[in-house]
Amino acid sequence: MKSFARWSLLGSGLGLMFLTAAPSFATVVGNLFTGGTSSVTVTATSITFDETGGVSTDVGVGTTMTSSDGALMTGQPIDIAGGTPITAASIPLADFMTFPDSPSLNVTLDAFGPGSANTNCAGLTTGQSCSPLIDGFASPIILTYTGTGVEGTSTGSEGTSALLSVSGTATDASKVISTFTGHFSASLATFTPEQLVTLFATPGQKFSTTYAGNFVATPPSTVPEPRTISVVAIAGLLMGLVVARRRKSVA
């Protein structure tokens, strides 16, 4: 009986060894913050992350993102969509974000938004949000009134924060696909949400502003499911039983 228990434990140990010996791969994981004083140009139907010298922005302080190319470092360049306008027809967009110092790291954009359920941007009070209707569709940009009182009613009643959520995937040389989510944000001190809606309603109008970005890459889970662990443990016990019986028959 003691011999059987010893061989069963040995079998279980071998099973766990097979589990822990499963190969691990470098994947894209961690937080990405953008830095610098980069600008973005927005129209009613497009958004362009402006470039200078082939660079849209750079890696900001607090970034922890790593890939098969190593860790991203503060100040390293980021290229966003090659400085070309992004429209609804552009999505999904491969090479949404590329990193010259990490050439295998690549972000694909799958969607912007969602925006706010409120499409009425008139008469907002401090902290209220909206997403304007553009050509019958709600914009994915959430505009939040940051002024005092009711927007547009008095001096100091200007101010808007804009938030654009993004979702997509990130890959590196491992070809493992991580989810990529986060947002771009901007602060517009001289506009109210309603004024921005009026601006967008005028053909050819646009505005530019600085922005910040905050994103997270999450790799697929590599922790074995409970069922998988149970199967391996049972297999280990059976292995121990078989070995113990063979030893007994030989004796």
* Closest of 164, 145, 167, 166 to residue 156, by C-alpha: 145
What value does the CA radius of gyration of the chain take, rounded to a whole number of Å?
A: 27
pTM of the model: 0.76
- State whether the Cα torsion 106-112-113-114 is positive or negative: negative
* Closest of 49, 69, 47 to residue 57, by C-alpha: 49
CA-to-CA separations, 249 to 102, 201, 231, 244, 245, in angstroms, rounded: 60, 88, 27, 9, 6
CA-to-CA separations, 238 to 1, 10, 15, 241, in angstroms, rounded: 15, 11, 10, 5
Is the preceding peptide bond at 203 cis, omega within 30 degrees of 0? no
pLDDT of residue 251: 53
pLDDT of residue 156: 67
* pLDDT tens profile 118-144: 999 999 999 999 998 887 788 899 999
pLDDT of residue 18: 43
With H, G, I as helix, E, B as strand and everything else as coil, classify residue 232: helix
pLDDT of residue 138: 85
* Contact call for residues 236 and 15 (beta carbons, < 8 A): yes
Alpha carbons 37 and 23: distance in angstroms, whole number: 41
pLDDT of residue 144: 96
Using CB atoms within 10 A of its CB, is residue 203 exposed (0-12), middle (13-18) or buried (19+)?
Answer: exposed
Alpha carbons 40 and 33: distance in angstroms, whole number: 16
Q: Which residues of the chain have pLDDT under 50?
A: 1-24, 223-238, 241-244
Distance of CA 89 to the CA centre of its chain: 21
pLDDT of residue 228: 44
pLDDT of residue 56: 94
